[in-house]
Chains A and B, each alone.
Chain A
Amino acid sequence: MCYIGQSIEKIDGMAITTGEPVYTDDRELSDHLYVHIVRSPHAYARIIDIDVERVKRLPGVELVLTHEDVPATRFTAAGQSFPEPSPYDRRILDAYVRYVGDPVAIIAADSKATAKKAEKLIRVTYDIFDPVLDPKTAIEHKSKVHTEEDLSCHFDFGCRPKQNLAGSYEVGYGDMDHALSECDVVFENEYSTQAQAHAMMETYRSTSHLDEAGRLVVVSATQIPFHVRRITAKALGMEEDQVRVVKPRIGGGFGGKQTMASELYAAIVTLKTGKPARVVFNRKETFSMSSSRHAFHINIKLGATAEGIIKAIDMQALSDTGAYGEHAWTVLMVAGHKSLPLYNQAIAARYQGQVVYTNKMPAGALRGYGVTQAIFAMESAMNELADKLGMDPAELRLKNIIKQGESNPILEGSSESASAKLESCTLNRCIEMGQKKIGWQEKYPRKQISDSKVRGVGMAITMQGSGIAEIDSATAEIVLETSGRYTLKIGATDMGTGCDTILLQMAADALKVDINEIDVLTGDTDEMPYDTGSYASSTTYVTGNAVLRASEDLKKKVLNGENAPVTGSGYFSGDTSPPPFIAGFAEVEVDIDTGHVQVIDYVAAVDCGTVINNNLARIQVEGGLVQGIGMALYEDVQHTSRGHMMTNTFMQYKVPTRKDIQGLQVEFVPSYEPTGPKGAKSIGEVVINTPPPAIAHAIANATGVHVRSLPIGPEGICMGIIKQQSKVALIPDFVQSKC
């Protein structure tokens, strides 16, 4: 049977849906200590004195640690291949606290209640500093978030702590001034995207214990088991082979579990006490003491001829990485790399970015990883440019987008001497499909429904990547057992996406065996082959290719007469990162009296290469679209003027609910990627990028109000409409600020 394209059910589906105890906090752990983290109430301070004597004397408290009790080693919590392109600016506990929630002490006790009681007995004296909260003033701010002498970087990516800079990046080609001089129309504006929370249903949690050989075993809901192993060993001063990481089923990640959030607190307690330890972040901690999407301000300038050929694209980005620099530089870089190549008629394209430290919860990896932010700016600007040109925005795209077979110097795999070629792309057909499905011809730009209701349609396109070229790698093994069954061993990390299942499909298809004859072994660094982990949209492409190579290797060995057990092994690390593409089309209905906006239809036409599992791919798209709708309209990480996060519960941080979603249409327009496993690329991240600009565009078409800052709320729309109607300035630049 050909398994490619089949909607095979997830192998863990029944267990996870019927409440089987397969997640981290369900696993049996013999008499263990509860780990509770005491956290800073200040956005920026130095601990002058911390007195834990009364805590130590409280019955039931086994251990309390302060910055004086932990290794002085600095590391990064970023789940990235070594050497990490993130500054080593963290300690397990530090004498400085750099955001409200930054850990101050670790308490291990016989129960949660004891630990909470113990927290009240800690006395801390702080020297409080003026926090850096606005990224726009971070560089000149007199407070410096990182003053430590031992902050280090593996290479120079522009980390300049004395200027509160965590990194800077520039990429581009052509002569911008010359390109602009050839343009008849120039459009320029600034766009802002907010910090977004992952809000995965399972909060952060880990356990740890010592096994019978005295090795440290960390069990964690993590996307990055091998990176956790390495970073844990480094932070605790251990040899890597003395650490084992186990990853059970995960209740959602979206990149949040690509940064270490909880593991070290349990691990250090186990090391110091010899006892098992458990740490479970509650929802407040998960919102406010982990990581979020980087908030961006992007200034973009576009230049085009009167005929609508875009000759110049110039972007300046300012990103806010919060208190620690994990993923700071890479998010900044990817934003430019995976937006500019979309428009291939430009004779000059440039992206310049800086990412700054502020005293807020750190930003980290979140689905889209900078591309989401850049696409909001770029596609919103493209839509406004189309207006200025008097051109249909779909037509503007069709005239300018990169096509299969074209080369672009910013595409992954490009070198100084040669631009990489785009081997697979159906973006033009995606646009046409999307137009058809949304009813673009009949509905563009707007339709008055009643006195108070108006509808508008909008669009946006996007690309992403498939793994990190030359850095992401995976090994897969397939064993033909003596029983005649097969075992597929993979290090990719299924966090609900179903990658265990689709990799199984690929193996079964390649080996030409029934899928039920193969068992999947994964989730244990002792047992599974090395894989960077499931992030950067790498699993289908990178691990998938490794699985196919392992299959071929096994077949060769079997044909050569080797007897079971026979192990086929395959390694893959790509030279390129073939982009998936999406054309997204939104239809909104706006109540022009109140500004209330409802997305009534959304079409995503998707080129992810070959679709391996139709159902799972479709749900990935739908899930990503809804997260994108949330980013467009509802979600917003907000802080007080003293740096306290206000949106640390689901009451205040609003993810879309069922009633907010009225219709999603997903159409696949597959290309065939020659370097991909069976022609597949990726789907995990690209899916979130189009809704924010498409919805902003639809709202602008419906109402004439351009909101250039996310999220777009009814207040901004309503006041924008009033301003238009009265032609009296209410608050200057109101439509440009958050509502």
Chain B
Amino acid sequence: MDIRTMINEETRTLEVFPGESLAALLRRYGYLEVRTGCDTGSCGLCTVWMDGKPILSCSTLAARAAGHSITTIKGVGKEGENLAKFLVAEGADQCGYCSPGFIMTVLSMKKELKNPTESAIKHYLNGNLCRCTGYEGQTRAIKKWLVSSKGA
């Protein structure tokens, strides 16, 4: 079946299999920045935005994208790149595999929480697993980025 959806602000008509996940659909259509890490909605790697809110694309039916807007890290422009720079500057990039989904969640956090404490940051991001960094480097990077974003 075909659906009409908007991906990274581009309107598209995509062929969707009934039981297909949004993650599989996106990768099939070349949005390789969307990665998956598990089969159970547990790791957060596949996080994209639907109508501006972070969701698990591995646990969302592709058909549900019909009439909605989907944003991947390639659709958030400079803000995502800027946050990535802070991660890289901290050395908290490591294998990078969790980063795109993680960045989408952090950007969303910035929209929802004003001046979050470290505890609030950790709570918001708790569903994004990382096996390489031990999390602290990512937290340092986020804090620095939040401060720099205020000044911008």
Binding stretch for chain A, among B40-48, B61-69, B108-116:
B40-48
Interface magnitude class on chain B:
35 or more
Q: Does A252 contact B (CB under 8 A)?
A: yes
Known: A18-B81, A649-B42, A657-B126. A13 touches B134 (CB 8 A): no
User: Which of B40, B87, B103, B129 touches A13 (beta carbons < 8 Å)?
Assistant: B87
- B97 in contact with A23 (CB, 8 Å): yes
Query: Interface SS of chain B: helix, strand, loop or mixed?
Result: loop
- B131 in contact with A622 (CB, 8 Å): no
- A18 in contact with B80 (CB, 8 Å): yes
B72: chain A residues at CB < 8 Å are: 19
**Among residues 47 to 105 in chain B, which have CB atoms less than 8 Å away from a CB atom of chain A?**
72-74, 80-81, 84-85, 87-100, 103
Nearest B-chain residue to A654, judged by Cβ: B42
User: Which of B81, B96, B136, B137 touches A16 (beta carbons < 8 Å)?
Assistant: B96
A179: chain B residues at CB < 8 Å are: none
User: Which of A495, A622, A664 touches B95 (beta carbons < 8 Å)?
Assistant: A495
Nearest A-chain residue to B93, judged by Cβ: A13
A118: chain B residues at CB < 8 Å are: none
Known: A622-B133, A651-B42. A19 touches B91 (CB 8 A): no
Q: Does A616 contact B (CB under 8 A)?
A: yes
User: Which of A20, A198, A625, A627 touches B33 (beta carbons < 8 Å)?
Assistant: A20
Interface magnitude class on chain A:
35 or more
CA distance A20 to B96 in the complex (A): 10
B89: chain A residues at CB < 8 Å are: 9, 615
- A19 in contact with B74 (CB, 8 Å): yes
**Among residues 381 to 429 in chain A, which have CB atoms less than 8 Å away from a CB atom of chain B?**
none
**Among residues 650 to 704 in chain A, which have CB atoms less than 8 Å away from a CB atom of chain B?**
650-651, 655-659, 661, 664
Q: Does B7 contact A (CB under 8 A)?
A: no
CA distance A17 to B133 in the complex (A): 13
Known: A18-B81, A201-B43. A664 touches B136 (CB 8 A): yes
A293 to chain B, nearest CB (A): 14
A627: chain B residues at CB < 8 Å are: 131, 134
Q: Does A154 contact B (CB under 8 A)?
A: no
Nearest B-chain residue to A624, judged by Cβ: B134
How does the 8 Å CB contact mask read for B113-152 relative to A, with 1 for contact and 0 for none?
A: 0000000001101111111111111010000000000000
**Most chain-A Cβ atoms within 10 A of its Cβ — which of B42, B87, B89?**
B42
User: Which of A198, A201, A624, A664 touches B98 (beta carbons < 8 Å)?
Assistant: A201
User: Which of B35, B40, B73, B94 touches A650 (beta carbons < 8 Å)?
Assistant: B40
CA distance A160 to B130 in the complex (A): 40
- A199 in contact with B97 (CB, 8 Å): no
B80: chain A residues at CB < 8 Å are: 18
- B97 in contact with A19 (CB, 8 Å): no
**Among residues 1 to 27 in chain A, which have CB atoms less than 8 Å away from a CB atom of chain B?**
7, 9-10, 12-21, 23, 26
CA distance A198 to B95 in the complex (A): 14
Q: Does A453 contact B (CB under 8 A)?
A: no
B90 to chain A, nearest CB (A): 6
- B97 in contact with A615 (CB, 8 Å): no
B98: chain A residues at CB < 8 Å are: 201
B53 to chain A, nearest CB (A): 19
**Most chain-A Cβ atoms within 10 A of its Cβ — which of B43, B81, B89, B130?**
B130
- B134 in contact with A626 (CB, 8 Å): yes
Q: Does A202 contact B (CB under 8 A)?
A: yes
CA distance A20 to B91 in the complex (A): 18
B37: chain A residues at CB < 8 Å are: 201-203, 283
Nearest B-chain residue to A251, judged by Cβ: B97
Nearest A-chain residue to B43, judged by Cβ: A650
Nearest A-chain residue to B19, judged by Cβ: A113
Q: Does A566 contact B (CB under 8 A)?
A: no
- B132 in contact with A252 (CB, 8 Å): yes
A661: chain B residues at CB < 8 Å are: 134-136
CA distance A659 to B135 in the complex (A): 9
- A16 in contact with B95 (CB, 8 Å): yes
Known: A16-B96, A496-B95. A254 touches B134 (CB 8 A): no
Known: A16-B93, A201-B131. A651 touches B40 (CB 8 A): yes
Nearest A-chain residue to B139, judged by Cβ: A658
B111 to chain A, nearest CB (A): 19
CA distance A658 to B84 in the complex (A): 19
Nearest A-chain residue to B100, judged by Cβ: A19
**Most chain-B Cβ atoms within 10 A of its Cβ — which of A23, A26, A623, A661?**
A623
**Most chain-B Cβ atoms within 10 A of its Cβ — which of A26, A202, A254, A659?**
A202
A108 to chain B, nearest CB (A): 20
- B95 in contact with A201 (CB, 8 Å): yes
- A619 in contact with B92 (CB, 8 Å): yes
B43 to chain A, nearest CB (A): 6
Q: Does A137 contact B (CB under 8 A)?
A: no
B137: chain A residues at CB < 8 Å are: 615, 618-619, 622
Q: Does A372 contact B (CB under 8 A)?
A: no
**Among residues 537 to 590 in chain A, which have CB atoms less than 8 Å away from a CB atom of chain B?**
none
- A625 in contact with B45 (CB, 8 Å): no
Nearest B-chain residue to A652, judged by Cβ: B40
Nearest A-chain residue to B83, judged by Cβ: A17
A199: chain B residues at CB < 8 Å are: 131
Would you list 21 pairs from A and B whose C-beta atoms are within 8 A, ordered by A residue? A7-B91, A9-B88, A10-B91, A14-B81, A16-B97, A18-B33, A18-B73, A18-B80, A18-B100, A19-B72, A19-B100, A201-B37, A250-B95, A251-B96, A252-B94, A615-B91, A619-B132, A619-B134, A623-B132, A623-B134, A658-B139
Shortest Cβ-Cβ A-B pairs, 6 listed: A19-B33, A16-B96, A496-B95, A251-B97, A615-B91, A622-B134
Give me the interface of B with A, judged by CB distance under 8 Å.
32-35, 37-40, 42-43, 45, 72-74, 80-81, 84-85, 87-100, 103, 122-123, 125-137, 139
Known A-B contacts: A19-B34, A283-B37. Give 5 more (CB < 8 A): A201-B129, A203-B37, A252-B94, A283-B39, A623-B134
